[in-house]
Chains A and B, each alone.
Chain A
């Protein structure tokens, strides 16, 4: 409850403002506008700052919300309270339709796509007959509870700011959950999250809908605040301005959206009302100064004003430890003792004319540590990607527990009990070690976005975090649990990846160069951990360049060279194998 205290203080403060004697009504209007913008910016924080999906089209969703209630209340005489769900549903459905097209766009295409439909929808708003073309729709009824009609800015103020606070709480709850971790992982690419069962397209669509619904809510409030709508506030300029707000405030922070809205709205207002007096100038001086100030602000605080401000607040992040007694159900282990767990049969991967993996066959038994070695470019990581479904094989077969896999996506492979780490560490640097590791247990939880928003997911969440904490302790990083993953050394980050993989409750652990960057003692600890896992019934397939480490640890070694398997056997046999020596040291050796 303690971390909610500042929000309560803020809510009380906001509630008290209209009671300040001699409060100029102008300031209340300003606060109303700040609240309306903050709602949209908050959605953008989730979408752009957290999820990494830049959108210029949010103003269009505000338009959907505003026009929905405008049409329904004026043409059909519905009560504004009935049009609220309609406005949210319309913007949500619009988000699904546009999102299905847009979120598939990768890289820079995505923001450009949003500009395109943002502009397109704006022109549509201004050309459609039943939306009143350029004149829009007027005579929208005010919000009313019984006979209390929210006509003046001072009364709708409460509706707007209640919406802002509720939206902020729900958004923060969402971010601090199983679904939220999947969203926060989006910005760092999709491969790692997908390897633990996250359906990244679905997560992207989810944040897209969330942001659109918040924008729709803002539009609904706007329509009943202004009592009239026209296309102008839903155009490209507005869409860009919402993005300003999010970036200036701090695109990665929910409260950055609110702060950014305050900064931008107040700045524009002050410039518009005082600058002409000051300079007696003609033209749009305020726009010029606003543009210059914006660039200057970005140069001073490139990651937004909120993080600067938040570091001054005396609030410490909570270091709540999950209850260690909570348990997750474990996988039913069907593999009999000593059976073949993984069978790779003539797997082949071609990139154009290059054969990265050339008809490689090997297997991994239950309770066995197998090492895959070979010089750089031998095709080891590609083999890993084939097994885990990141790449699809050109030909050949891979079977787990005797069941043949037909190019399943990574999300399905992890369900079969295969979890992996990456050669190039793929953690979310600004999430804590605990949160990163909990992504590994994604498939073992079930809470969805709605239950996360309303905090109905706490039992599920506590079990996930307890499991994550247990695996972190197991790999020996309990001390670093609450640190941002990006602050750890590279070697430690590799160990965090192992803990994350263990969280998936795997039968087979795929480790891509786990010992790189570790010190001697750390390597020994890692080796004993892996032995211990094997003795507990797990199998390990690892790629590693440290020959001492591999020879000591592995039960069996498979050697690849230029994509082809050249040898397989016990460490002792491999050391003597002339083919292997030739591959590593050249023909003359």
Chain B
């Protein structure tokens, strides 16, 4: 192997690894706050990517309608949950958040679609649509199950993944799509060529990691989320609404997922079911990070990306085997290093 190939592989690995890092961070965030292992993370990726690609191609994405329908259901859930103490301001707030907001987004999408708005407008629309879906998903599927075991939450999570993947096929069809790049520039450094897109991937990943770090370190909501992650009951006792924490976690996760999708859809063709495998790789990174540590997850994600790049070069048949088997020694080491304390399980 010569150095050029190695550099190429490393570059490729880092670009993919940066995406895995974003997804891994989202998974850690959601798990810590809600105990949900977010399998539908992959669908956030495809929804984001394909919504963006559809908008750019001048097609109306089905996800905008999905967000509106989920909003109506969420409104029904809110009203049903508060049926013993229905007050007008409460209903009005739920109506505004669950029906008016997605309604405006739906209207805006159908007005703008086909008029070829600037790329950034499409990005923003795609992000908002997927973010709404994320928040409503928590409200509809997971908030009623918040008290149950991790296992039940996990099964519900798989159920959501199946439903959303099926909807993805319905909205976007079986053909793959590509979207326009965010930036057309390119720079060369020695033998390596950095496209504007890969530079955007690096910058946005770093920006998001820093933003998350600031959010959790400095903002009240970030601290509330951390408190919920450490102890739900304790958080409730000091007045933190744990359902709000869950919604914020899902909001962030869906934005991160959609953004990852938008970042890769100009590089690779995405199909309605591609997200699952991408999400899984982020998941591996999250596990290596122990589902708790953000910096470790980011480093592990880069590692996963590089291992994947090299194994697809040397043994492309066994690429997935190698990536997944990477986990076992890591898990073992983490497990043995963990202190032998009694876990109070549910």
Q: Do A and B bind each other?
A: yes
Residues of A within 8 A of B (CB): 48, 52, 54, 101, 104-109, 111-113, 115-117, 119-120, 123-124, 127, 187-191, 240, 243-244, 247-248, 251, 281-292, 294-295, 298-299, 302
Question: Quick one: which of B277-331 are within 8 Å of A by CB?
Answer: 280, 284, 287, 291, 317-318, 320-321, 324-325, 327-328, 331
The residue in chain B whose Cβ has the minimal distance to the Cβ of A111 is: B154
Assembly CA distance A235 to B249 (angstroms): 30
Q: Which residues of A contact B151 (CB under 8 A)?
A: 48, 54, 243, 247, 251
Shortest beta-carbon distance from B325 to chain A in Å: 5
Partner of A292, one of B144, B159, B170, B336: B159
The distance from the CB of B53 to the nearest CB of chain A, in whole angstroms, is 18
When the two chains form their complex, are residues A298 and B145 in contact, meaning their CB atoms are under 8 A apart?
yes
State which of B155, B169, B325 has its C-beta within 8 Å of the C-beta of A243. B155
Residues of chain A with a CB closer than 8 A to B336's CB: 104
- Indicate whether B76 reaches chain A with its CB closer than 8 angstroms: no
Cβ contacts A to B, 18 pairs, < 8 Å: A107-B338, A111-B154, A112-B287, A115-B324, A120-B321, A123-B320, A123-B321, A124-B321, A283-B166, A284-B169, A288-B162, A288-B170, A289-B163, A290-B163, A291-B164, A294-B162, A295-B163, A302-B145
User: Contact at B335–A291, with CB atoms within 8 Å?
Assistant: no
Cβ of B231 under 8 Å from chain A? no
B184 close to chain A: CB less than 8 A: no
Residue contact B327 to A113, C-beta cutoff 8 Å: yes
* Contact A285–B166 (Cβ < 8 Å): yes
B155 and A298 within 8 A (CB): yes
Binding site for A on B (CB under 8 A): 140-141, 144-145, 148, 150-152, 154-156, 158-167, 169-170, 280, 284, 287, 291, 317-318, 320-321, 324-325, 327-328, 331-332, 334-336, 338, 342-345
- B155:A116 contact, CB within 8 angstroms: no
CB pair A299–B145 under 8 Å, yes or no, is yes
A187 to B344, CA, bound (A): 10
Q: Does the CB pair A288–B155 fall under 8 Å?
A: no
Contact of A291 among B145, B148, B161, B325 (CB under 8 A): B161
- The answer to whether B342 and A298 touch across the interface, beta carbons within 8 angstroms, is no
Q: Known pairs A112-B331, A120-B320, A244-B155. 19 more at Cβ < 8 A? A: A105-B332, A109-B335, A117-B325, A119-B280, A123-B321, A187-B345, A243-B151, A243-B158, A244-B158, A281-B170, A287-B165, A287-B166, A288-B162, A289-B163, A291-B162, A294-B156, A299-B156, A302-B145, A302-B148
Q: Tell me, in angstroms, the Cα distance from A449 to B129 when the chains sit together.
A: 55
Most buried by B among A116, A191, A243: A116
Contacting A298 at CB < 8 Å: which of B156, B161, B163, B321? B156
Shortest Cβ gap from A428 to chain B (Å): 11
A247 to B241, CA, bound (A): 29
Residues on A with beta carbons closer than 8 Å to the beta carbon of B325: 116-117, 120
B171: nearest chain-A partner, CB-CB: A283
- Max chain B CB contacts within 10 Å: which of A190, A287, A289? A287
Task: Give the tally of cross-chain contacts (CB within 8 A).
Answer: 133
Please give the distance in Å from B40's CB to the nearest CB on chain A.
10
Assess the B334–A189 pair: CB atoms within 8 A: no
Contact present for A127 and B321 (CB under 8 Å): yes
Given contacts A106-B343, A127-B317, A295-B159, contact A113 B166 (CB under 8 A): no
Nearest CB in chain A: distance from B11 CB, A: 26
- Cβ–Cβ contact B163 & A287, under 8 A: yes
Closest CB-CB distance, B248 to chain A, in whole Å?
A: 21
Instruction: Looking at the assembled complex, report how far the CB atom of A408 sits from the nearest CB atom of chain B, in whole angstroms.
Output: 15
Q: Are B343 and A189 in contact (CB under 8 A)?
A: yes
Q: Measured between C-beta atoms, what is the minimum distance from B122 to chain A in Å?
A: 24
For B160, the chain A residues whose CB sits under 8 A away are 291, 295
User: How many Å from the CB of B119 to the closest CB on chain A?
Assistant: 29
Are B318 and A291 within 8 A (Cβ)? no
How long is the Cα–Cα vector from A119 to B276 in the complex, in angstroms?
Answer: 13
- Complex Cα–Cα for A107 and B324 (A): 19
Residues of B within 8 A of A109 (CB): 287, 331, 334-335
In Å, the complex CA distance between A384 and B159 comes to: 46
In the complex, A285→B148 CA distance in Å?
A: 28
Q: Is the CB of B332 within 8 A of A104?
A: yes
The smallest C-beta distance from A381 to any residue of chain B, in angstroms, reads: 12
Cα A291 to Cα B287 in complex, Å, equals 25
Q: Which of B145, B152, B331, B342 contacts A116 (CB 8 A)?
A: B331
Q: Which 7 A-B pairs have the closest CB atoms?
A: A291-B163, A294-B159, A291-B162, A287-B166, A288-B166, A116-B327, A283-B170
Bound Cα distance A101, B335 (Å): 10
A113–B144 Cα distance when bound, in Å, is 28
CB distance from B191 to the nearest CB of A (A): 33
- The chain A residue sitting closest to B148, CB to CB, is A302
**B335 touches which one: A104, A111, A187 (CB < 8 A)?**
A104
Known A-B contacts A112-B287, A127-B317; the reply to A107 vs B343 at CB < 8 A is yes
CB distance from B69 to the nearest CB of A (A): 12
Question: Which residues does chain A contribute within 8 Å of B164, judged by CB atoms?
Answer: 291
Residues on B with C-beta less than 8 A from A298 are: 145, 148, 152, 155-156, 159
* A residues near B150, Cβ cutoff 8 Å: 108
